[in-house]
Amino acid sequence: MFDIQEIRSQFSILDREVNGKPLVYLDNAATSQKPNSVLEVCHAYYTELNANVHRGIHTLSQLATEEMELSRRKIQKFINAEHDFEVIFTKGTTEGLNLIAYILTQKLQKDDEIIISYLEHHSNIVPWQMLCERTGAKLRVIPIDENGILQMDHFDQLLSEKTKVVSVNQVSNALGIVNPIEEIIAKTRKNTDAYVVIDGAQSAPHFNIDVQKMDCDFFVFSGHKMYAPMGTGILYGKREILEALPPFHGGGEMIATCSFEGTTYAGLPFKYEAGTPNVGGNIALGAAVDFMHKIGHTHIQNHENALLEYAQRQLLEIDGIKIYGEKANRTGVVSFNLEGVGIASDVGMILDKMGIAVRTGHHCTQPIMNFFNIAGTVRASFAVYNTFEEIDALVEGVKKAQRMLS
Ligand SMILES: Cc1ncc(COP(=O)(O)O)c(C=O)c1O
């Protein structure tokens, strides 16, 4: 049974008002709200369990370690990784992508190629540009058509023996477009021995993730976009690849032995987890996974798809609205502008006065904005607790903004 009111009752923040109006929170692609079960786990950690992990003989340290490792196993199941030590705790997608780009440095040479897509977030562009600067490799980009859909025949042409990395997102944060990663991975495997990296920041909150079936080498996502606290994230990497590659940060936790003559590194996952982790946050990420499991992925996806379909249908009735990626297969996001009426942030400010939280601007995807020749869009993005009434409020708000700004 999918009971939206019961789900909403788990999010205290949804009861608050903003500017004297009930909060309508439609900025979930930036960060989701956190259910009380996740907040309670954070609170309980700091009031009952707080201790550093892995290196303590005392009871609290052992309990904190057990809880964090239990969370790691929950996340292993959540993404269907073969081993729990393939699950590395990070601060978020950005850190995961930077980590991967850094540890691949020795694997690339001048004139090797890295393929990304036009639909990437800056955090799946800049780390690869930095890797190109370090190695002399070249960045290649899969283009999009006027609907924002990746042009896969161009991808075929880009693939060659020079391709050493293919890194794409599963879902675009700016437009919500679902990319054909199965096809991208299959073609990459068939034609190259490149590493395949999937940015799952916008898919992990919505989809059932199976990294083994997907057959990617790396999969990264952020906890805070899927009901967990800020400063949490996951990097999944295939065992044999992570074992063969060098560490990222050096420091405590990641060593086996350390002397002035040299250091040997710990095994997985600790080799990639230098320093004190966000223990409370990492445990709470496990609670967020429990929250999603309890509702069930099918329910989450069906509800969010219904919201998107409803929002798109209602918004398209407004004269002069342009939805970017309107004809593409999408999830969770509707990104639009009102033709001839000011800039996106003006619409966002009017909506905010009505208690409606949306994001405006380039959404850390300036290449997409340049492609459409715009400075930014208004982006409404959905989570499992959003309602059809909230979409109605959004549509009314957009109509009001149009009246006020034209
Ligand atoms: C597709 C995508 N990749 C990467 C990121 C970066 O995530 P974070 O800021 O949590 O590191 C985001 C955040 O919006 C995103 O949507």
Residue range 96-148, pLDDT digits in tens: 999 999 999 999 999 999 999 999 999 999 999 999 999 999 999 999 999 99
pTM: 0.98
121 lines ligand 1 (CB under 6 A): yes
Pocket test for ligand 1, best of 203, 364, 365, 379 (most atoms within 8 A of CB): 364
pLDDT at 99: 98
Average pLDDT in the chain: 97
Q: Which residue has the tokens 């250091």?
A: 263
d(CA 289, CA 226): 8
124 lines ligand 1 (CB under 6 A): yes
* Maximum pairwise Cα distance, the chain: 72
Q: What is the mean pLDDT of residues 316-323?
A: 97
Q: What are the φ and ψ backbone dihedral angles of 259, each rounded to 5 degrees?
A: -140, 175
Q: What is the mean pLDDT of residues 265-292?
A: 97
Helix and strand element counts for the chain (H, E): 14, 17
pLDDT-based confidence at residue 223 (cuts at 50, 70, 90): very high
Which residue, judged by its Cα, is nearest atom 9 of ligand 1?
94
pLDDT at 406: 87
Question: Catalytic residue at 364?
Answer: yes
199 lines ligand 1 (CB under 6 A): yes
d(CA 364, CA 377): 11
Instruction: Determine which one of 42, 132, 216, 364 is catalytic.
Output: 364
Establish how many alpha carbons lie within 13 A of residue 223's alpha carbon, considering only the half-sphere containing its beta carbon: 33
What Cα–Cα distance (Å) separates residue 63 from each residue in 37, 41, 284, 358? Answer: 19, 14, 14, 40
The single-letter DSSP state of residue 324 is T
pLDDT at 1: 86
Q: Which helix (H) or strand (E) holds 392?
A: helix 388-405
Residue 404 has pLDDT above 80, yes or no: yes
Residue 284 has pLDDT above 80, yes or no: yes
Type of residue found at 174: A
Residue range 52-84, pLDDT digits in tens: 998 779 999 999 999 999 999 999 999 999 999
pLDDT at 323: 97
Q: Which helix (H) or strand (E) holds 265?
A: strand 262-265
Contacts with 2 (C-beta within 8 Å, 6 or more apart), sequence order: 295, 299, 302, 303
Residue range 162-181, pLDDT digits in tens: 999 999 999 999 999 999 99
Residue range 181-194, pLDDT digits in tens: 999 999 999 999 99
DSSP letter for each residue of 191-242: H---EEEEE-TTTTTTS---HHHHT-SEEEEEGGGGTS-TT-EEEEE-HHHH
pLDDT at 233: 98
Q: How far is the CA of 224 from the centre of ligand 1 (A)?
A: 10
pLDDT at 55: 77
Type of residue found at 177: I
> In this structure, are strands 17-18 and 333-338 parallel, antiparallel, or unpaired?
unpaired
Residue 341 has pLDDT above 90, yes or no: no
